[in-house]
Amino acid sequence: MKSVLFKIAGCLAGVTLLFTFAMVYTPCASAKNEKAAASGIPADASFIIKDRGLSPDDVTAAVSTYMPSGKYDEYVMFASGGQSGQVFAIGIPSMRILRTIAVFTPEPWQGYGFGVEETPLTNAPIGGDGQKVMWGDSHHPALSETNGEYDGQYLFIGDKSHGRIAVIDLRDYETKQLADNPLMNNDHGAAFVTPNTEYIIEGSQYSEPLGKVYAPISEYKEKYRGLATFWKFDRALGRIDADNSFAVELPPYWQDLADAGKGPSDGWAFINSFNTEMATGGIEKGNPPFEAGTTERDMDYLHVINWKKAEEAVKAGKFETLNGVKLITLKTAVAEGILYFIPEPKSPHGADVTPSGKYIVVAGKLDPHVTVYGIENIKKAIEAKDFEGTDPYGVPIIRFDAAKVTQVELGLGPLHTQFDNQGYAYTSLFLDSAIARWTVGDDKFTAPEKPWTLVAKTPVQFNVGHIAAAEGDTVSPDGKYFVSLNKWSVDRFSFIGPLLPQNLQLMDISKPGDSMKVLYDLPIGSGEPHYAQIIKADKLKTWEVYPEVGWDTLKQQKSDRMTLEGKVVRNGNNVEVYMPLIRSHFDPEHIEVEEGQHVTLYLTNLERTVDATHGFSICGFNISASIEPGETVTIEFDANKPGVYPYYCLEFCSALHLEMIGYLTVKPKA
């Protein structure tokens, strides 16, 4: 990393020199060439800089992010796809979008949701309207961790709009599981993992009667509840293990973001809340609207959950079962010392544990400070029963001053906090449209300023909420790069209709003090990312092709449904077609069935060449498959309509790709 920094610094010096030269000195072309060559920069660059009117900062930004063809990015950012229901993989520092990962929403290029059986979408839940749920509101991505470090194996993400958690396997960047929470229709504090990915935390947002049942809003305080679900992750299987998961019942406050403790705070989870007023809205009935009713109190409650104790309580049988979920009731949570509250300033958003695990930083949207709590203080207060009473549900409230370490005034609308390797924290300021850099008295502290001080505020464009620093929520953040995920882009891009893209701005955070600079603007035109994580690219051990020919990508093992040669097996009304694909033909090229027959296709891509993907579609059948090298997919349908249906390869896989075709003929019943 040092050498890279050195190179960038060297490069910048050269460019600044060149820039000065280009602006003040306009000699004849040959003299210019000599001078520019002496500074190590091609002469043409000076013309471009001048012609495009680039400032020294522009040039610095350009050379900081430019990635020569065939060179790879140092980091990969996984950004939630918001309403698109997907996840984006983005290279850093180039900010090139490398991949959209289909998660909650059908995606035809990846053959996700259009007839291929080997996707978890086939088991998508049924929504309130009786239809299959075919999208999600992707919120917070969480990479799997080992000892508090990203290990590059799995990625999890929550669906706020349906209360689900997705599991993505980073060997092939495919979604393997959509775990539906049987108790709630929504979530928000999801996904967050414990330091060894023992559990994936899913906190609810808007309280509901638990178990997805009816209760009138007039019975809000009695019947509505919040929830924290601890999904057990089976790493060997790559799946959430619902049987060994549990949930903790919470009061009907609106729980917000979560984080898992680490180091000295390992074993604890922290979840913010708002609407401790328990406002129930009803503006149409003359009641205060939610936005007023939920912001009356000066303090809400940081939920502090001892998940190791919760685990023990479950082992000891101290739970109830609701819709198959082991539920620790509020009563048990209080009795067993599993749940505590700490007052936190007004309408908080992010709860972020510092790299050492010693502190928890809470950003209150309606308070200009971040509040820092200490895990030692919290443990001592619990030990000494230093409480300021209980909430209406009997949960002990730890005295604010006993838990608090300090408050740092940053500015207006603080939302989320990330960390770097110099001892700085970064907090997004929504109303200020700025990133605040401030010091944390944590490990690896090299920042020149004293701890707990605001160092700088760098403007971003505009209305920043989510942020991500390189490995910025692990036990050892990398610093160097930071991305501000802005909610409004206003005038940053060409107008392409009134619905404007989100703007992801890359920043250089490598140097201390007031030196943060925006380097790049990346428009995202397909949803509002809610958070992102940035991992060192060399931690990702991705397959180039599937390990063996005939690979079932859902089970991640060899499928018994593949054949090397085409064959058709007829059994009464069932027609099974085993079809290998190789450049540039299908085998067979004719599939002859009769009206009403049930057809199952097993398609295997025999290729071992990197990127030799074949696609598959049967015209008129709403079928789209992507069969990557080695993969076997299953497609089942009823041939209900007589006719002739070409099937063809969707990928431009070879010069003769147009000839990669066949005919499905469906003969009318006699």
Q: Which string of b and e fits 224-248 if b means at least 16 CB within 10 Å? A: bbbbbbbbbbeeeebbbebeebbbb
Structure tokens at 457: 């505020």
614 touches, from ligand K7E, ligand CUA, none (C-beta below 5 to 8 Å by class) = ligand CUA
C-beta of 201 vs 577, nearer to ligand CUA = 577
Q: Are 387 and 403 in contact (CB under 8 A)?
A: no
The answer to the question of residue 664 lying near ligand CUA (CB under 6 A) is: no
Q: What is the Cβ-side half-sphere exposure of residue 630, based on CA atoms within 13 angstroms?
A: 18
The answer to the question of residue 653 lying near ligand CUA (CB under 6 A) is: yes
Distances (CA, A) of 271 to 81, 250, 299, 361, 475: 23, 11, 14, 11, 19
Cα–Cα distance, 583 to 660 (Å, whole number)? 8
Which span (138-146, 271-279, 540-548, 648-656) binds ligand CUA, by CB under 6 A? 648-656
The answer to the question of residue 614 lying near ligand CUA (CB under 6 A) is: yes
The backbone torsions φ and ψ at residue 532, rounded to the nearest 5 degrees and listed phi first, read: -155, 160
The answer to the question of residue 415 lying near ligand K7E (CB under 6 A) is: yes
465 touches, from ligand K7E, ligand CUA, none (C-beta below 5 to 8 Å by class) = ligand K7E
C-beta of 65 vs 427, nearer to ligand K7E = 427
Residues of this chain, 528-557, that bind ligand K7E according to CB under 6 A:
530
The answer to the question of residue 365 lying near ligand K7E (CB under 6 A) is: no
The answer to the question of residue 651 lying near ligand CUA (CB under 6 A) is: yes
Q: Shortest approach of ligand CUA to residue 433 CB, angstroms? A: 47
Concatenate the DSSP letters of all residues of 640-663 into one string: -S-EEEEEE--S--STTGGG-EEE
The answer to the question of residue 649 lying near ligand CUA (CB under 6 A) is: yes
Q: Shortest approach of ligand CUA to residue 581 CB, angstroms? A: 6
Residues of this chain, 125-154, that bind ligand K7E according to CB under 6 A:
139-140
Of positions 195, 364, 413, 465, contacts ligand K7E by CB under 6 A: 465
Structure tokens at 57: 């900062």
The backbone torsions φ and ψ at residue 10, rounded to the nearest 5 degrees and listed phi first, read: -60, -45
Of positions 35, 349, 480, 561, contacts ligand K7E by CB under 6 A: 349
Residues of this chain, 85-124, that bind ligand K7E according to CB under 6 A:
none
Of positions 466, 480, 561, 614, contacts ligand K7E by CB under 6 A: 466
C-beta of 310 vs 468, nearer to ligand K7E = 468
Report the DSSP pairing between strands 299-306 and 339-345. antiparallel
Cα–Cα distance, 400 to 385 (Å, whole number)? 13
415 touches, from ligand K7E, ligand CUA, none (C-beta below 5 to 8 Å by class) = ligand K7E
Of positions 103, 375, 464, 660, contacts ligand CUA by CB under 6 A: 660
C-beta of 58 vs 651, nearer to ligand CUA = 651
C-beta of 589 vs 651, nearer to ligand CUA = 651
The answer to the question of residue 318 lying near ligand K7E (CB under 6 A) is: no
561 touches, from ligand K7E, ligand CUA, none (C-beta below 5 to 8 Å by class) = none
Which span (22-30, 91-99, 176-184, 645-653) binds ligand CUA, by CB under 6 A? 645-653
349 touches, from ligand CUA, ligand K7E, none (C-beta below 5 to 8 Å by class) = ligand K7E
C-beta of 413 vs 629, nearer to ligand CUA = 629
The answer to the question of residue 589 lying near ligand CUA (CB under 6 A) is: no
Q: Shortest approach of ligand CUA to residue 660 CB, angstroms? A: 4
C-beta of 279 vs 606, nearer to ligand CUA = 606
Q: What is the Cβ-side half-sphere exposure of residue 496, based on CA atoms within 13 angstroms?
A: 11
Q: Are 482 and 447 in contact (CB under 8 A)?
A: no
653 touches, from ligand K7E, ligand CUA, none (C-beta below 5 to 8 Å by class) = ligand CUA
Q: Shortest approach of ligand K7E to residue 529 CB, angstroms? A: 8
Q: Shortest approach of ligand CUA to residue 24 CB, angstroms? A: 56
Cα–Cα distance, 301 to 399 (Å, whole number)? 11
660 touches, from ligand CUA, ligand K7E, none (C-beta below 5 to 8 Å by class) = ligand CUA
**SS3 label, residue 584:** coil
C-beta of 318 vs 457, nearer to ligand K7E = 457
Q: Is 291 exposed, middle or buried (0-12, 13-18, 19+ CB in 10 A)?
A: exposed
Of positions 35, 162, 188, 326, contacts ligand K7E by CB under 6 A: 188
**SS3 label, residue 512:** coil
Number of H helices, E strands in the chain: 10, 45
Q: Shortest approach of ligand CUA to residue 562 CB, angstroms? A: 17
Structure tokens at 364: 């209150």
Q: Of 277, 281, 225, give the one whose Cα is nearest residue 251.
A: 225
Cα–Cα distance, 22 to 43 (Å, whole number)? 10
C-beta of 303 vs 466, nearer to ligand K7E = 466
Q: Is the peptide bond before 191 cis (omega within 30 degrees of 0)?
A: yes
Q: Which amino acid is at 344?
A: E
Q: Shortest approach of ligand K7E to residue 188 CB, angstroms? A: 6
Q: What is the DSSP letter of 441?
A: -
Q: What is the DSSP letter of 627?
A: E
Q: What is the 3-state secondary structure (H, E, C) of 316-374?
A: CCCCEEECCEEEECHHHHHHCCCEEEEEEECCEEEEEECCCCCEEEEEECCCCEEEEEE
Q: How many residues bind ligand K7E (CB under 6 A)?
A: 9
Query: In residues, how long is the chain?
Result: 670
| Helices within 219-325 (DSSP H only) | 220-223, 290-293, 307-315
Q: Is the peptide bond before 584 cis (omega within 30 degrees of 0)?
A: yes
**SS3 label, residue 205:** coil
Q: Is 485 exposed, middle or buried (0-12, 13-18, 19+ CB in 10 A)?
A: buried
Q: Which amino acid is at 103?
A: V
Q: Shortest approach of ligand K7E to residue 459 CB, angstroms? A: 18
Report the DSSP pairing between strands 325-328 and 239-250. parallel
C-beta of 594 vs 651, nearer to ligand CUA = 651
Kind plus residue range of the DSSP H or E element containing 249: strand 239-250
Q: Shortest approach of ligand CUA to residue 550 CB, angstroms? A: 18
Q: Shortest approach of ligand CUA to residue 652 CB, angstroms? A: 6
Of positions 309, 558, 657, 667, contacts ligand CUA by CB under 6 A: 657
Binding residues for ligand CUA (CB under 6 A): 614, 649, 651-653, 657, 660
Binding residues for ligand K7E (CB under 6 A): 139-140, 188, 349, 415-416, 465-466, 530
